[in-house]
Amino acid sequence: MQNKIYQNRNTILYLSVFLIVLGALITYFYYGIEPWETIGGFLGGFGLGALIIVFSIKKPTINN
């Protein structure tokens, strides 16, 4: 599992940045409309969590 995440870390990085930007835009444009603020906050938080995972993952070691 860690090997697959490490191999696809650039894709996850771009996806997480996209989610953060999308969440910020949704929250900005729909400020005051309750369900959309929550959805924007969730997307931003999920993107931030994925971004932290991408930056903290290390190259998997090969065990013989």
Kindly report, residue by residue over 19-57, the tens digit of the pLDDT: 999 999 999 999 888 899 999 999 999 999 999 988 888
- The reported pLDDT for the residue numbered 61 is 78
With a CB cutoff of 8 Å and minimum separation 6, the contacts of 30 are: 36, 37, 40
Residue 64's pLDDT band (cuts 50, 70, 90): low
Alpha-carbon span 48 to 56, nearest angstrom: 12
In degrees to the nearest 10, what's the CA dihedral of 38, 53, 15, 27? Answer: 20
